[in-house]
């Protein structure tokens, strides 16, 4: 049993090393230009060893995106509860978007994959659909909580606001990725939220 546990632990570490190397490769060169051979070399695994853990570049990509979500959650959303403190949640969201402006490679990955995954047969389709459902739920909870506290401006209609704000974040990325000077993503989001919420976000 100890051996078996040791085996699992070693496999998990190896897997984590591969994901970390792929994260760097995808973020640096983009998904298309990154090569499985280079990723294997970067973490000292054979091509067969890599294939054992990740049979395709797509499965590796899914693991990278899950890892990025985990890191972002830990960094920006640990302990957040939009249904209990919507203001705090929005402040965290703005900080996460501001941080994105320093993460071009990974933002690009997410942008490309979230559009490619719209194909119902894409391996990441269900993951992305669920991801957006969760995002909409969190933002709906946040705006609902702010509404109950009387912190939304009088002109604001809450229904559908969650879809609009998520769309704004995604759409700003498209313009920013095409031309970084064209738009300041954090500033734009902050401005729009300032039209919605009475109190300025930190």
- Please state the closest distance from residue 185 (CB atom) to a second copy, in A: 9
Nearer Cβ to a second copy (15/188): 188
Cβ-based nearer residue to a second copy, 24 or 132? 132
| DSSP 8-state symbol, 56 | S
CA-CA-CA-CA torsion sign (118, 120, 126, 130): positive
Which CB, 16 or 130, lies closer to a second copy? 130
Nearer to a second copy, 38 or 115 (CB): 115
CB of 42 to a second copy, least distance (A): 21
Contact 97, 169 (CB under 8 A): yes
On whether the CB atoms of residues 60 and 19 are closer than 8 A, the answer is: yes
Question: Which residues, in sequence order, are CB contacts of 63 under 8 Å at separation 6+?
Answer: 15, 19, 22, 54
Whether 124 contacts 113, CB under 8 Å: yes
Cβ at position 17, least distance to a second copy in Å: 27
Q: Minimum distance between the CB of residue 195 and a second copy, rounded to whole angstroms?
A: 7
Spatial separation of the C-alpha atoms in residues 166 and 101, rounded to whole Å: 16
| Least distance between a second copy and beta carbon 156 (Å) | 9
Q: Tell me whether residue 4 or residue 179 sits nearer to a second copy (CB atom).
A: 179
Find the radius of gyration of the CA atoms of the chain: 19
Return the number of other C-beta atoms located less than 10 Å from residue 66's C-beta.
12
Give least dist CB 10 to a second copy, A. Answer: 37
Q: Given the rule CB under 8 A, which residues bind a second copy?
A: 30, 32, 108, 111-112, 114-119, 125, 128-129, 132-133, 136, 155, 157, 160, 163-164, 166-172, 174-175, 177-179, 182-183, 187-188, 191-192, 195
Residue among 50 and 97 whose Cβ is closer to a second copy: 97
Helix ranges, 81-160 (H): 86-100, 104-116, 125-148
């Amino acid at each position: 049993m100890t051996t078996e546990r040791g085996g699992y632990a070693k496999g998990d570490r190896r897997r984590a090393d591969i994901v970390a190397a792929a994260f760097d490769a995808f973020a640096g060169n983009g998904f298309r230009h990154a090569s499985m051979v280079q990723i294997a070399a970067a973490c000292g695994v054979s091509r067969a060893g890599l294939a054992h853990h990740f049979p395709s570049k797509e499965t590796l990509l899914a693991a990278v995106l899950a890892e990025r979500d985990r890191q972002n959650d830990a960094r920006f959303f640990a302990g957040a509860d939009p249904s209990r403190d919507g203001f705090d949640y929005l402040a965290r969201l703005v900080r996460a978007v501001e941080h994105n402006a320093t993460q071009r490679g990974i933002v690009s990955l997410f942008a490309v994959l979230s559009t490619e995954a719209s194909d119902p047969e894409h391996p990441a389709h269900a993951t992305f659909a669920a991801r957006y459902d969760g995002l909409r739920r969190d933002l709906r909870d946040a705006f609902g909580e702010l509404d109950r506290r009387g912190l939304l401006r009088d002109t604001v209609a809450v229904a559908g606001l969650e879809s609009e704000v998520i769309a704004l974040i995604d759409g700003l990325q498209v313009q920013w990725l095409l031309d970084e000077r064209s738009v300041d993503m954090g500033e734009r989001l902050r401005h729009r939220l300032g039209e919605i919420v009475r109190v300025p976000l930190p």
